[in-house]
Amino acid sequence: MNIQLNFINNSNDVNNSEVVIFQKNVAMNFDELAVAWQVIKYCGQGDNHPFAFPTTMQVGASDSYGNYTPQLDAQNGQMFQMALTTSGDRLVPAGSGTSSKEVQVLNNLGKGAINASIYKAGKLLAVKTSVAPQQKAVFEFKPTIWIGVASQFVQGQVMNSAIISNINTELSLLGIASADIVMTGGGPGRSAAPFAFNFENIVMA
């Protein structure tokens, strides 16, 4: 199922600011960096940008030889493992994980680290790099998105920690079927209000 969201620029922005939307992996420690899941660019005053936020997710992995696995549908509570098979390294379901709130990826290879990734709508949502053999990557997401304004974002890439620390708007998607995300504030000079993001026209699921 998809949550239908519609970003609306009602701000006074004069800098062609970019808007980034991402989730934080709350299963990891605080130095875990977030990935720019969705970047909205050149959305002018009065313009809108509709997008879907899936409630489903996929998991994938890559090995130290530069191979990438297919993306597999993943649900909280599931464990996956990267294992050497007769056809090479493969990511396969491995039953239930140790937490019903997490997706877990075990590196079950004899040698070589892996990168484990979570995707939504085909776009990278989170990544855990350099997972050593017999170590696990764990992913847990609250039903919220983070949204903010900055520049120099690249969709699908890890964001600078200084940028992340300046983004403090968290919007809960719990129970929502569709909503507008309205951006206000901004503008030239010192009197400009800070950017703000608020839900409007919420339709509950």
- CB atoms closer than 10 angstroms to residue 109: 19
Single pTM value for the model? 0.94
pLDDT at 11: 96
pLDDT at 190: 86
pLDDT at 78: 98
Positions of the chain with pLDDT lower than 50, given as ranges: none
**CA pair distance 50, 175, nearest whole angstrom:** 19
**CA pair distance 135, 3, nearest whole angstrom:** 33
